[in-house]
Structure 1
Amino acid sequence: MRKAFVVASTVLLVAFALQFVFAAVGAFTKPAGDGAYALHSVTGMAVIPVLTLLTILFAVLAKAPGRLVGLAVLPLGLVVLQALLAMLANAFTDAVGASTPVGLTIAGLHAINGIVAVHVVVGVLRAARTLASPAPAAAAQVSVREGEPA
C-alpha cells in the first residue's frame, strides 16, 4: 500500500501541474468564451478531489502517521477554498460584468492558494516516498562505540 500511496501522490501532483496549464489555456484562449476554462474547471472540481481522496485512502491503508494523513487531507480543503475564491472573484464584477479591483484581488488569492496546494502535495509526495523507502539493514543500524573493534 505504501507504493500505491506514492503513485497516488505522484498522480495528484501531476494533476495539479496540469491545472496550471489548463488555467493558462483558459487565460490565453481568444476569443474567451464560457468553455475557455472547461479543462481547468473539470480538473479542479472532479479530478483533483477524487485523486485527493485516493491519496488519503492509500495514506490510511499504508499506516502513515496521523500527521501525514492530515497533510494528505489538506489539499481537499484547499480545493474547496479554490472554488469559493473563484465564485467570490466572479461575484465582484461591475454592472456590465467587467472585473473590478476587488474581484481581481480575490482571483489573485485563487492563484496563490493553488501554489500553496502544490507545495502541500509536494510535501505529501516526499513523505510518502520516505515512508515507502526500504528500512536500512539491521547491521547498518548498529552503532560502534569508541574503542571497540568494528
Structure 2
Amino acid sequence: MRKAFVVISLLLLVVFALQFVLAAVGGFTRPTGDDAYALHSVNGMVVIPILTVVTALFAALAKAPGRLIALAILPIGLVVLQPLIAMLAEASTDASGVSTPLGLTIGGLHALNGIIAVHVVVGVHRAARKLAGLAPTDARVAVRETEPA
C-alpha cells in the first residue's frame, strides 16, 4: 500500500504540473473567450480535488503519520481558495471592466497559491517515498559519517 501511495502522490504532482500548462494554454489562446480556461478549470475543480482525496486515502491506508495524512489533504483547501482569489481579482476591476493594479495583484496571488500547493504536493510525494523506503540516501551524511573527527 505504501508503494501505491508513492504512485498516487506522483500522479497528483503530475496533474498539478499539468494545471500550470493548462493555465498557459488559456493565457495564450486567441481570441480569448470564456472557454479559454475550460481545461484549467475542469482539472482544478474536478481532477485535482478527486486525486487529492485519493492521495489522502492512500496515505491513511499506508498507515502514514497523521501529520502526513493532513498534509496530503491540504491541497483541497488551497484549491478551494483558487476560485475565490480569481473572483476577488475579477471584482477589482474599474467601472468599465478594465483590470486595476489591485485586481492584478490579487490575480497574482492565484499563481502564488498554485505554487504553494505544488510545494505541498512535492512534500507529500517525498514523504511517501521515505515512508515506502524509496527515498535516496543523502550522500552528504554518509561522507560526514566517514570523515575523521
Instruction: Flag whether TM exceeds 0.5 (same fold).
Output: yes
Residue 11 (structure 1) aligns with: 11
Residue 21 (structure 2) aligns with: 21
Find the residue that maps to 1:99 and give its secondary structure. Answer: coil
Distance 1:37 1:123 in 2: 28
Q: Which structure 1 residue ranges, 5 or more long, are not aligned? A: 135-150
Alignment of 1:48-63 (within 5 A): 48-63=48-63
Find the residue that maps to 1:68 and give its secondary structure. Answer: helix
- 1:99-140: CA deviation from partner (whole Å, max 9, x where unpaired): 111111111011001001101000000000111127xxxxxx
Q: Which structure 2 residue ranges, 5 or more long, are not aligned? A: 135-149
Alpha-carbon offset, residue 7 of structure 1: 1.2
Residue 133 (structure 1) aligns with: 133
Alpha-carbon offset, residue 33 of structure 1: 0.6
Find the residue that maps to 2:16 and give its secondary structure. Answer: helix
Residue 111 (structure 1) aligns with: 111
- The two structures, once aligned, show a CA RMSD in angstroms of 1.0
- Please tell me whether Structure 1 or Structure 2 has the larger radius of gyration of its CA atoms: 1
* TM-score of the aligned structures, taking structure 1 as reference length: 0.86
* TM-score of the aligned structures, taking structure 2 as reference length: 0.87
- 1:2-44: CA deviation from partner (whole Å, max 9, x where unpaired): 1111111011100100000011011111110111101110011
Alpha-carbon offset, residue 96 of structure 1: 2.4
Distance 2:3 2:121 in 1: 16
